[in-house]
């Protein structure tokens, strides 16, 4: 049976592995190909992805104590936010490698992803407050 905990554990597993691989790629393969600002953006994407991967793992534990749809929405917000926020930073920082031109369409995606990450934290807070005993 597929549970929300299994979905979040699976998502966190893949996200964590991807964050480590992308971090290694940035440190070893991209350091000579990206300028300071691009490398900084790439690293920001990796950092936020790893933080929210750990938050997703924490939600699995929290869900056992506070089973709530808000926790589920929080997890989905983290997953969606990581994809948009970190994903757009990866693409923006490597736009010259991927020949994406100015990639201006990606710029507005980053803050949408950031808002989803913020929403995830606020949904977690709401779940705890509404289930406070």
Q: What is the mean pLDDT of the chain?
A: 92
Position of tokens 């995830």? 120
Report yes or no: 62 and 123 within 8 Å, Cβ to Cβ: no
Two structure tokens written together for 51:
């933080």
pLDDT digits (tens, 9 = 90+) for 6-49: 999 999 999 999 999 999 999 999 988 899 998 999 999 999 99
pTM: 0.92
Compute the distance between CA of residue 88 and CA of residue 27 in angstroms, rounded to an integer: 19
Distance of alpha carbon 65 from alpha carbon 61, whole angstroms:
7
Q: Is the pLDDT of residue 110 over 90?
A: yes
3-state helix, strand, coil in the chain (%, to 5): 80, 0, 20
Confidence at 123, pLDDT banded by 50, 70, 90 = very high
Q: Find all residues with CB under 8 Å of 6, minimum gap 6, and list them.
A: none
Domains of the chain, by residue range, sit at: 4-130
Q: Using the 8-state DSSP alphabet, how is residue 86 labeled?
A: I
- The model's pLDDT over 47-67, given as tens digits with 9 standing for 90+, comes to 999 999 999 999 999 999 888
pLDDT of residue 57: 97
């Amino acid at each position: 049976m597929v549970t929300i905990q299994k979905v979040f554990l699976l998502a966190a597993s893949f996200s964590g592995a991807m964050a480590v691989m992308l971090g290694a790629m940035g440190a070893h393969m991209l350091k000579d190909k990206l300028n300071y600002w691009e490398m900084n953006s790439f690293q920001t994407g990796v950092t936020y992805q790893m933080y929210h991967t750990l938050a997703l793992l924490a939600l699995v534990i929290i869900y056992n104590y506070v089973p709530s749809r808000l926790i589920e929405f929080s997890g989905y917000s983290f997953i969606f936010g990581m994809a948009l926020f970190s994903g757009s930073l990866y693409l923006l920082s490597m736009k010259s490698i991927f020949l994406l031109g100015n990639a201006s369409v990606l710029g507005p995606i980053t803050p949408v992803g950031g808002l989803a990450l913020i929403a995830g934290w606020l949904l977690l807070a709401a779940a705890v407050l509404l289930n406070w005993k």
